[in-house]
Structure 1
Amino acid sequence: MTTSASALTKVSEQLCFGGKQIRFSHHSAVLNCQMQFSVFLPPQAEAGKVPALYWLSGLTCTDENFSSKAGAQRVAAELGLALIMPDTSPRGEGVPDDANGAYDFGLGAGFYVNATEPPFAEHYQMYDYIAAELPALLEAELPVSDKRAISGHSMGGHGALVIGLRSPERYRSISAFSPICNPINCAWGIKALTGYLGEDKAHWQQYDASVLLSAKGSALPILVDQGLADNFYPAQLQTEALVNAANSAGVAAEIRLHEGYDHSYYFIASFIEQHLRFHAQHLALTHG
């Protein structure tokens, strides 16, 4: 089943809070492979285009983690907000993976960068896929408008912050759960940035939210939540670097630390409503 001109193939569809939870596949020219993504269209999409929140997931995830675990659809249906949930890396035969099959690089770990190093450069162009190709496709074929917000978790929180900070004209607001805030200075980030971008650390800085925020500030409102019982905090996530960057740039980012919460989707589910309402306010939705 295709939506129009065979650009999107519908994989599955479920009714959810009066809206539609749909999974699509399509060929990505940017990633040079077949991709899948999930969309929640609220009931208001039956009457016309609705604003969209782009959600970027973390290491090892696919497009289905957020849709099945976060419990976001109820509030999104109330607000009239579409949820766009892409995959976390290119997929398929011929797409290179980590040489040792590790979870933190390669398949499921695209880090939302445009790779320049072989063999990854042929497929791993996740920045351009998220920021340009996917929105253009959705806005042409689905009842989704160009009023966009962006959010994500862990590696996806890193992606949301970086893409939002670098392309503020494309979004109205940014949020993140447990983001990798300073990848040039943590093991996950050093491995990924070396593998995708090479050894020149000057090239890494364009994909580091703390560096970007410190250097350029932010034209967009930012909300970040971090659990203090997170086993990746602070070593991999480095939230304090983002706090320091916001302070040095005079940016009033709201960065909240929560006692007792870990890195899991239980944490995301606990605060996702607040994030959706934050974005709705900046997308000028009536129930924001």
Structure 2
Amino acid sequence: MQRIEHRACFGGWQDVYEHASDTLGCTMRVAVYLPPQAAHGRLPVLYWLSGLTCNEQNFITKAGAQRYAAEHGVIVVAPDTSPRGDDVADADGYDLGKGAGFYVDAVQAPWSAHYRMYDYVVHELPALIEGGLPASGARAISGHSMGGHGALVIALRNPGRYRSVSAFSPIVAPSRVPWGAKAFGAYLGDDRAAWRAYDATALVETATERLPLLVDQGDADEFLDDQLRPQLLQAACEAVGHPLTLRLQPGYDHSYYFIASFIGEHIAHHAAALHA
């Protein structure tokens, strides 16, 4: 990885790296916050997955997470949300194509040539981080909206790989909402049975690890009723006894003002598990 940004922040360093991705077949950027404790040894990592239209910059410039990561001694890694480049397939609109990878491995052309964000986040990115930075191998994962979907799915599909998981305003049932149906139809094809592999409400039914889920959702979110529908995840978890803390936060919308208000609590939640 080649470092292309390097800024002092809360006693540590907010960096951005660029690297050639074998998984995605393009050049990717990933933001990394190294807290001051990283100068003295290896630290656990919180992987953050951002939402639709975002890249590696949104979380690091808007969430205010560095203060809490420095307090708790946690590295924060925030990759871009999709492959990038002139030869990468794209579409009109914000909810398909670049900036909208949905953290799946596409099987349909033309998307399958590059859109393998699930494999990238689960395998290639951690190998790069743990191989080249002072990362201990202890992992947690979180995200917002499309990224909240990605965090829940990745944690549920990989028992033992992450010590904790949380999400802000996640798309909990992409198979049953317009955003997910559009993306899954394009990336995965028309067989809705295949969509279940990337649907958190389906995955909790057969999860072999009861990793507790922490979800914060604003009750003034403009996408709450048609795209997010957290009650579907609540019902799925109740049906099988999967531990879920679902907090409906009064007055908050879908924006980074919401994330900034509660990111400190989420990082403390992850730090407790990562340092245990």
Q: TM-score, normalised to structure 1's length?
A: 0.94
Code of the aligned partner of 1:57: S
Query: CA shift at 1:215, angstroms?
Result: 3.0
Does residue 173 of the first structure (1) align with residue 153 of the second (2)?
no
Q: Distance in 1 between matches of 2:119 and 2:250?
A: 36
Decide which moves more: 244-253 or 175-184. 244-253
**Which residue is equivalent to 2:40?**
47
TM-score (structure 2 length as normaliser): 0.98
Q: Secondary structure at the match of 1:158?
A: helix
Q: Which whole-Å CA distance do the structure 2 matches of 1:238 and 1:217 have between them?
A: 24
Give the Cα separation in 1 of the matches to 2:200 and 2:136.
26
Q: How does 1:1-288 map to 2 (within 5 A)?
A: 8-98=1-91, 101-216=92-207, 218-284=209-275
Deviation at 1:219, TM superposition (A): 2.6
Q: Distance in 1 between matches of 2:136 and 2:183?
A: 33
* SS of the residue 2:119 aligns to: helix
Distance in 1 of aligned mates of 2:70 and 2:268:
12
- Amino acid corresponding to residue 175 of structure 1 in structure 2: S
Q: Is the 8 A contact 1:114 1:128 kept in 2?
A: yes
Alpha-carbon offset, residue 218 of structure 1: 4.2
For the residues of structure 2 that align with 1:109 and 1:127, how far apart are their CA atoms? 12
Q: Distance in 2 between matches of 1:230 and 1:48?
A: 40
On the 8 A contact 1:154/1:179 being kept in 2, the answer is yes
- Report the more deviating stretch, 212-221 or 106-115: 212-221
Q: From the superposition, tell whether residues 221 and 283 of structure 1 become closer, same or farther in structure 2 (CA, over 3 Å).
A: same
CA RMSD in angstroms, aligned pairs only? 0.9
Unpaired runs of 5+ residues, structure 1, are: 1-7
- 1:217 touches 1:250 (CA, 8 Å); kept in 2? no
How many angstroms apart in 1 are the aligned matches of 2:241 and 2:193? 24
Aligned-partner SS, 1:224 = strand
Equivalent position amino acid for 2:71 in 1: E
**Quick one: structure 1 residues 218 and 234, their matched pair in 2 at CA, closer, same or farther if it must change by over 3 Å?**
farther
Letter matched to residue 35 of structure 1: M
Distance 2:90 2:233 in 1: 30
Provide the rounded CA distance (Å) in 2 between the counterparts of 1:260 and 1:214. 31
| Distance in 2 between residues matched to 1:170 and 1:11, nearest whole Å | 29
Residues 90 and 107, structure 1, Cα contact 8 Å, conserved in 2:
yes
* Number of aligned positions between the proteins: 276
Deviations 1:228-276 (A, max 9, x none): 1000002100101100011011022111101110000000000000000
TM-fit CA distance, 1:217: 6.1
CA distance in 1, matches of 2:66, 2:197: 33
Deviations 1:187-219 (A, max 9, x none): 000000000000000100000001101332643
Identity percentage of aligned residues: 55
